[in-house]
Structure formats: C-alpha cells, structure tokens
Amino acid sequence: MNDITLPKAVDTFITATNAHDANALAAVFGDGATVRDDGQTWAGEAEIREWIQGHLINPKVVLTPTSFADDRLVASGDGDFPGGPLSFALVFDIKDDQVTDLTIEPV
C-alpha cells in the first residue's frame, strides 16, 4: 500500500474496508473495542457492526493510505458520500493484533 508499512490490524482494516467485507472488518476489533467517529462513540460488537455497515459498507468507502506514524494513519477516503474524496486521520490502539480503540477525524 503505497510503500507504507502498517501493523497487521491496520492493514487488515484497510483491506476489509476496501473489499466491503463487514465480517472481516468486525473481526479486526477486539472485545470491548470502541470507535469514535462523527462526534459519536460506538462500543462493543453490535454497535461497531452498526458503525461498519453505516459508515464503511453502505457508502462503499475505499481508503487510500498516505502516511502512517505513531499509530496514526492518514488516508484519503472515497465512496458514495457527499464531498468525497476526503482525507481522514485514523488513530488506532492495538493489542494482540486487534483494534481496541479507533478514533477517526477529518484532516
């Protein structure tokens, strides 16, 4: 991916997002994980699956990484949503190859 070295969980997150694979995306998140996006927080498997479907799968988001440092991925995101493509910063907390916390912010 653009010669950027990514942790396994981040690489899997991007690959599953771009494949629009909700099950593979959900598997990236560990027990008790949280996602912060669009001023809201989703916690636990059921809420994260809802976020995945509504924010990544339905709009057919495709992420193109531009940089990764200190657990912060900057990526361009495009899909079926107004104003795309948009740049995002995705900040990952990872433990045992699973995302425990993800915060998404516009850049």
- Whether residue 3 lies inside any domain: the answer is no
Residue 43 in domain? yes
| Structural domain of 96 | 8-106
For 28-60, write each residue's pLDDT tens digit.
Answer: 999 999 999 989 999 999 999 999 999 999 999
CATH number at residue 66: 3.10.450.50
Structure tokens at 24: 């593979």
Number of domains in the chain: 1
Residue 64 burial by Cβ neighbours in a 10 Å radius (0-12, 13-18, 19+): middle
Please tell me the predicted confidence (pLDDT) of residue 2: 55
Average pLDDT, the chain: 93
Q: Is the pLDDT of residue 82 over 90?
A: no
